[in-house]
Chains A and B, each alone.
Chain A
Amino acid sequence: MVRLTVNGEHHELALDPRTTLLDALRDHLGLTGAKKGCDHGQCGACTVHVDGRRVLSCLALAVAQRGREIMTIEGLALGAHLHPMQLAFIECDALQCGFCTPGQIMSAVALLAEVDHRRELTDVAIRERMSGNLCRCGAYPNILAAIRRVRT
């Protein structure tokens, strides 16, 4: 049995050791917010937080996550109140098809916590720090605008 803590809830799952954290979230816990894009750590659509740090759930084995605090896009809002980054993505129209959006938002939320001073987050720095999240629709200008809005 694998014990996982996801969005504050404890789960015990019988998992094949081959199960990635992404597949455990989607197929065993019904949390389909994190997306399977490339499944090889190249696109960022599966980004979740583990102990507060953004990671790629497609390259993490679920069995290796014992005792870790996992947060997915489903755990970001406080009840009916969306996270400021979620609101900013809506207000800035920072998506088209939406497939990469949960990963973009989880990555962007973590990004704000990674810097000592938000003024370090120039446009160049935001682009560099978001380079692990691809958007095939090319919504990058509005993603940048959304992050800039939350930064200030």
Chain B
Amino acid sequence: MRPFAYVEGVSVADAAAAVHAAPTAIFLAGGTTVVDLMKLGVLAPATLVDVHRLPLGDIELDDRRARIGACVRNAQLAEHPDIRARWPVVGEALLSGMSPQLRNMSTVAGNVLQRTRCPYYRDPHSACNKREPGTGCAARTGWDRDAAVLGTSPHCIAVFPSDLATALAILDTIIYTRRGDGGARRLPFDGFHRLPGRSPERETVLDHGELVTHFELPDLALSRRSHYLKVRDRASYEFALASAAVALDVERGLVRDARIALGGVATRPWRCPAAEQSLRGRRAEPAAFRAAADLALADAVAGAHNGFKIELARHVVARALTELAARPG
């Protein structure tokens, strides 16, 4: 690991300003991604600004919304009784990922900002445009079994790995930030993560030194009936091969509204608006869910070894919707 200076953030504004002022400074929260990638030599910041003691660790609720601090631990969010009742997809997504130890350490913002598990990104000796722009993409001609089938570009096919972000993508989540120059922003979750395009090293719309401070979940008619289904190589403690976050608002057997997002198959959290639209006004039954699943994967493009993910993801979407429709309420 390269030497670095450790700075404990004393306030949100000071922490953001400290990172803003130093081109190679980064924020440290739970550390489960950052410390790992520093050991691998993927990240080599000159300064770490620790934000985990800032007053960003609370979950506040009222009738209309939940306001979740950026440094809330993933375990804390997953276990919160009101979050589980009003936004079940959030807890289900969190409990399907990581180990309990990692959920105790890692934060909600760190989860949403976590880096890809693409093995070529994690190996400093491989070509990777995300880690080192302009060096190429070793995954495109290499072992791409785990790579994305949606949202890829000639420059990057790395999967975005967060289960939580897939759930937040269907919940009209708002992200609040504090910028290094003192300003603040309110960012819709849709569009927060960027497509890789020609610059896969830029993963979000955040500027350098911009600190995520809170997430806001509005109370939606369909958020109480929401569900996360994840398929992976092992039964536990593994990233998704394909996953789906779904929500349904059903009245007298007819779908009034639906939400679908895919995880494990795309380069960012992947909303499926055409599939959602196809369900509105339809009967909530497996045939409609299968048709929606086909639409969700309609634009998927396979590489050499990951073609199975397209069919797998179709089944995950259809099964997630079918399971959810069978739930009472």
Contact B101 A61, beta carbon cutoff 8 Å: no
Contacting residue for B5 out of A17, A114, A128, CB 8 A = A17
Within the complex, the shortest CB–CB distance from B4 to chain A, in Å, comes to 6
Tell me if A81 counts as interface (CB < 8 A to partner B).
Answer: no
Contacting residue for B36 out of A59, A66, A128, CB 8 A = A59
**Of residues 98 to 143 in A, which have CB atoms within 8 Å of B's CB atoms?**
107, 110-111, 114, 127-129, 131-133
Determine the distance from Cα of A66 to Cα of B98 in the docked complex, in whole angstroms: 25
Name the segment of B27-35, B130-138, B204-212, B220-228 touching the other chain. Answer: B27-35
**Of residues 1 to 53 in B, which have CB atoms within 8 Å of A's CB atoms?**
1, 3-6, 8, 28, 31-32, 35-36, 39-40, 48, 50, 52
Contact B100 A16, beta carbon cutoff 8 Å: no
| Most chain B Cβ neighbours within 10 Å, of A20, A56, A66, A107 | A56
Given A17-B48, A61-B6, A44–B101 Cβ distance below 8 Å? yes
Query: Which secondary structure dominates where chain B touches chain A?
Result: mixed
Number of A-B contacts (CB under 8 A): 72
Contact B99 A18, beta carbon cutoff 8 Å: no
Determine the distance from Cα of A61 to Cα of B45 in the docked complex, in whole angstroms: 15
Given A128-B236, A132-B237, A114–B105 Cβ distance below 8 Å? no
Contact A55 B104, beta carbon cutoff 8 Å: yes
Tell me if A63 counts as interface (CB < 8 A to partner B).
Answer: yes
Number of B residues, CB within 8 Å of A: 27
What A residues does B101 contact at CB under 8 A?
A: 41, 44, 47, 54-56, 107, 132
Tell me if A3 counts as interface (CB < 8 A to partner B).
Answer: no
Residue of A nearest to B236 (CB): A131
Contact A129 B100, beta carbon cutoff 8 Å: yes
Tell me if B102 counts as interface (CB < 8 A to partner A).
Answer: yes
What B residues does A114 contact at CB under 8 A?
A: 100
Determine the distance from Cα of A107 to Cα of B28 in the docked complex, in whole angstroms: 25
Contact A107 B105, beta carbon cutoff 8 Å: no
Residue of B nearest to A134 (CB): B237
- Counting contact residues on chain A (CB < 8 A from B), the size range is 20 to 34
Contact B237 A59, beta carbon cutoff 8 Å: no
Determine the distance from Cα of A53 to Cα of B306 in the docked complex, in whole angstroms: 38
Contact A53 B32, beta carbon cutoff 8 Å: no
Determine the distance from Cα of A100 to Cα of B48 in the docked complex, in whole angstroms: 31
What B residues does A110 contact at CB under 8 A?
A: 100
Contacting residue for B100 out of A59, A64, A127, A132, CB 8 A = A132
Tell me if A69 counts as interface (CB < 8 A to partner B).
Answer: no
Determine the distance from Cα of A126 to Cα of B205 in the docked complex, in whole angstroms: 40
14 contacts between A and B (CB under 8 A): A54-B104, A55-B105, A59-B31, A59-B32, A60-B31, A61-B48, A64-B50, A66-B8, A114-B100, A127-B236, A131-B99, A131-B236, A132-B99, A132-B100
Instruction: Report B's interface with A, CB cutoff 8 A.
Output: 1, 3-6, 8, 28, 31-32, 35-36, 39-40, 48, 50, 52, 75, 98-102, 104-105, 235-237
What 8 A-B pairs come out closest when comparing CB atoms?
A132-B99, A131-B236, A17-B6, A131-B237, A53-B104, A59-B35, A56-B101, A18-B1
